[in-house]
Structure 1
Amino acid sequence: MNDPMKDQPQDGLENPMQHPEEQPTGSDGSPKFGRLLIVLVLVVILIGFITFASEWLYS
């Protein structure tokens, strides 16, 4: 019932250009949303600071 060759490529048909298998990303594969959130908050604060500073400077 279980065919061991079922998961194996048949003469390169599953991978016709002979690309290597995908490499795992990161240490455990989970995305780092905490760092992204911190960077996003800092960018928003920086844009707000530039907005208020330019308003103060040019008015």
Structure 2
Amino acid sequence: MKQWIALIAVAAVSLGLTGCVTRSYTDEPELRGARAKQGYGSSGDAEVKAKERIWFWQDDFRNP
């Protein structure tokens, strides 16, 4: 019986840790023209507009 409780506890913890994603929506200047060749990735001027936590049972988890 203790093995089942331990197994269920481990499953619940792993599901809690991997069952969601956090999406951030940012507003940042786009790299176009001559500046586009300087580098890749995000600039340091990005401003986070919204953060959203999406769990695995929501439709947006598999269809972003």
Q: Which structure would you say has the larger Rg?
A: 1
Structure with the higher helix share, 1 or 2? 1
> TM-score by structure 2 length?
0.32
> TM-score by structure 1 length?
0.34
Structure with the higher strand share, 1 or 2? 2
Higher relative contact order (CA 8 A, sep 6+): 2
